[in-house]
Structure 1
């Protein structure tokens, strides 16, 4: 039987990994989100230069705390859910096939979308959208969240739930399947009892992030549009949003923000899996 992570330690390791990854990579998330809003198209470097000139370095961290908090909860839920589903779907020897790993990742993505990602990303997106105006309304995470809930109700922080569930399900399914498949391949060719080095773990996680970006980018663009401040007036639902983007802006618009998201998810994949494996190892958390 393969080793299984203890639920509490899996949650601790995932939460820690998510918080660290979100803070380190946030400027790329900010640039990606800004580039996906409707209106004038801006390249990544233009957004960075304009933001630094008008808001300073702190401008690249607009909405950061919403993502750090949400990402830590998201990663905790993701790893806890994935480990649970993976254990349920494992064969008698404890091995998980690629299709079953895909199913476990899909389930984990759905869980994180409902409990963590949708509210945190909706608030983050609205804060970034508001911050680009000359006179921002929101004075930070708490004030922004309170204002959104007061004006739009709970639906205001759960706007875009469907595309988020689709994106997170696809994200986790692709990322975990890619990571698990490559990790198992590397371990199968290693000496018995040999563990993966930090560099190899980071590299496998980075590859998983690369594959995830290109396969799920359209869902990410739709998600951002549905969570923007103008979404209520511009789109009836996610399908209407996708239709308008396709007919008015062209199919390539679905891959807007690929460069900054690629930078983030490649780093994210490396950081998250590396920190997670290290924390699990430090806690001595795997049980037979």
Structure 2
């Protein structure tokens, strides 16, 4: 493949991935908000259910309460997905064998590299701002007036290090997420394509279903990393935890191992939809963008 074609493919992956990420983030954000609130619930003595927390949030703060921190996540998710698909395609092509095939272990390695890249470039800053804004929104007098104000306040109070709070668990989570999700999706897609005519494009509902299954597998595999990540990005994390390993130890010793799967239900709801939406949107947008490029 010529360098020009490779560049066009990278640009198409970036645009299609960013579009898919933005659509997915806005659509599924209420699940993300509930998951984050549930993961903080044990630190304030409450033990709410997802449904109970949903009713409480809507009653006290309305729909706006469910979308606290959404702007940061939509922007971050668009950037994240763009980086994810671009880097995954790059490493996937790099790791193909002489026949152009990509084994499951190599697909996992490509996904791991993509996850690490997106964690550093896009995910950690947006996740930190989102997490702090959700926790702050539950106060009687929230201090953050919006994403830009929150970013300025965090930098003023904690420096740029505050924006990258929890970068280690984010890298571990995103690396694990992408490795598991892309491998699951690729493997399931190959199995399904083996039962259809060669060259036949899979219908959108089948792509959605495969993506959703990949999302389910991803949730249960990586949930502990997500809980540690959320705790490490809280407003008072720097005063409570020395590092990610100390956070992990405290959760297990003080709250029990099962607390590492707190927030599974709303995260499961999000990633089932997320996997379906993001892969379906990407598969539909990519050929349009690739064809439109000069």
Normalised TM-score (structure 2): 0.95
Query: CA RMSD of the aligned region, Å?
Result: 1.6
Contact 2:34 2:266 in 1 (8 A): yes
Taking a change above 3 Å as real, the CA distance of residues 110 and 17 of structure 1, as seen in their structure-2 partners, is: same
Shift in Å at residue 94 of structure 1? 1.6
Shift of 1:286: 11
Structure 1 regions of 5+ residues with no counterpart? none
Aligned partner of 2:29 in structure 1 is 26
Cα separation, 2, equivalents of 1:285 and 1:19 = 21
Equivalent residue number for residue 282 of structure 2: 276
CA deviation string 1:9-48 (max 9, x = no partner): 0000000000000000000000000000122222111211
Q: What CA distance in whole angstroms lies between the structure 2 residues aligned with 1:141 and 1:283?
A: 30
Structure 2 gaps, min length 5: none
Report the CA distance between 1:284 and its aligned residue.
3.8
Query: Structure 2: how far apart are the matches of 1:182 and 1:109?
Result: 20
How many equivalent residue pairs? 286
Q: Which one of 114, 125, 132 corresponds to residue 120 of structure 2?
A: 114
* Corresponding residue for residue 105 of structure 2: 99
Tell me, in whole angstroms, the C-alpha distance in 2 between the residues paired with 1:177 and 1:220: 19
Q: Which runs of 4+ in 1 moved over 3 A?
A: 284-287
Contact 2:9 2:290 in 1 (8 A): no
Question: Is 1:35 matched with 2:38?
Answer: yes
- Whole-angstrom distance in 2 between the partners of 1:232 and 1:193: 54
Matched, 1:147 2:147: no
The answer to whether the 8 A contact 1:78-1:111 is kept is: yes
Pairing of 1:26-175 with structure 2 (within 5 A):
26-37=29-40, 38-39=43-44, 40-175=46-181
Q: Describe how 1:158-197 pairs up with structure 2 within 5 A.
A: 158-197=164-203
Aligned residue number for residue 201 of structure 1: 207
* CA contact 1:280–1:286 (8 Å) conserved in 2: no
